[in-house]
């Protein structure tokens, strides 16, 4: 029987770090679903039609380093409002969620739309300022010359678009456990998430 962990939340809240740690700790397969939207966004920046790019997506498209840039993140958030793009990406995500070894999927609508029956649902949040500070530090370390203010502006505009769209908006599922990482260390946030998954495994028997 498959065991799915849904990890949702806004950009730079710590979802990626927590999801990776959960996958390693429990031996689950990991899918960063943001990469699907980023890969489509990257194709669109090159002139492709969004719906066509979503339908033509192959797993190798998720491996490019260029998917991590702020421009691609914005493009991803823009194409993510298109219902036909979202629909084209559903099957891939649901099939991944059924992996025999268990699966962690991180995104925006995993607990609400993609895997409403996930065994464990986490919603990871932090204030916009804390998230912008983390993203700014990451980008600076990579030598990118974005300012803190421009990163905060990006975080806010992505939040508004991700939460405000009509189709599968970002929100916590009613049965999700929320972890606010604003004042937590990475180790504490990971430990809190592991405890929730352990409780979920125990309750499955």
φ, ψ for residue 126, nearest 5 deg? -165, 160
User: Given the complex with ligand DC, which of 3 and 33 has the nearer CB atom?
Assistant: 33
User: Given the complex with ligand DC, which of 12 and 177 has the nearer CB atom?
Assistant: 12
Q: Could you give the 3-state DSSP secondary structure of residue 9?
A: coil
- 77 touches ligand DC (CB under 6 A): yes
Taking CB under 6 A as the binding criterion, the range among 34-42, 119-127, 130-138, 178-186 that sits at the site for ligand DC is: 34-42
User: Given the complex with ligand DC, which of 18 and 76 has the nearer CB atom?
Assistant: 76
- 109 touches ligand DC (CB under 6 A): yes
Taking CB under 6 A as the binding criterion, the range among 22-30, 72-80, 119-127, 175-183 that sits at the site for ligand DC is: 72-80
Burial class (CB in 10 A: 0-12, 13-18, 19+), 62: middle
Radius of gyration of the CA atoms of the chain, in A: 16
Among residues 125, 128, 127, which one has the least CA distance to residue 176?
125
User: Given the complex with ligand DC, which of 138 and 149 has the nearer CB atom?
Assistant: 138
The DSSP-derived string for 145-191 is ---HHHHHHHHHHHHHHHHH-SSS-S---TTPEEEE-TT--HHHHHH
Measured N-to-C along each axis, helices 34-45 and 70-79 cross at an angle, to the nearest 10 degrees, of 100
- 107 touches ligand DC (CB under 6 A): yes
Residue written as token pair 């996930």:
118
- Cβ of residue 25: shortest distance to ligand DC, in angstroms? 21
Instruction: State the DSSP H helix or E strand holding residue 68, giving kind and residue range, or none if neither.
Output: none
- Cβ of residue 14: shortest distance to ligand DC, in angstroms? 11
- 80 touches ligand DC (CB under 6 A): yes
- 73 touches ligand DC (CB under 6 A): yes
- Footprint (CB under 6 A) of ligand DC, residues 155-184: 158, 162
**Minimal CB distance residue for ligand DC:** 34
Classify residue 10 by its DSSP letter.
Answer: S
Q: Kindly list the residues in this chain that would bind ligand DC in the complex (CB under 6 A).
A: 11, 33-34, 37-38, 73, 76-77, 80, 107-109, 158, 162
């Amino acid at each position: 029987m498959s065991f799915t962990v849904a990890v949702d939340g806004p950009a730079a809240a710590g979802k990626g770090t927590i999801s990776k740690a959960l996958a390693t700790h429990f031996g689950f397969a990991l899918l960063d679903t943001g990469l699907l939207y980023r890969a489509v966004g990257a194709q669109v920046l090159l002139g492709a039609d969004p719906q066509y790019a979503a339908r033509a997506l192959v797993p190798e498209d998720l491996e490019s380093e260029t998917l991590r840039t702020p421009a691609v993140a914005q493009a991803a958030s823009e194409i993510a409002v298109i219902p036909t793009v979202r629909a084209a990406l559903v099957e891939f995500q649901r099939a991944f969620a059924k992996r025999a070894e268990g699966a962690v999927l991180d995104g925006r609508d995993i607990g609400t739309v993609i895997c409403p029956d996930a065994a464990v649902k986490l919603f990871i949040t932090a204030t916009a300022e804390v998230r912008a500070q983390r993203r700014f530090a990451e980008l600076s370390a990579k030598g990118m010359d974005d300012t803190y203010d421009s990163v905060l502006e990006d975080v806010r505009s992505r939040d508004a678009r991700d939460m405000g769209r009509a189709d599968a908006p970002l929100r916590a599922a009613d049965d999700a456990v929320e972890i606010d990482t604003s004042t937590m260390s990475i180790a504490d946030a990971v430990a809190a998430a592991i405890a929730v998954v352990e409780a979920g495994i125990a309750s499955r028997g």
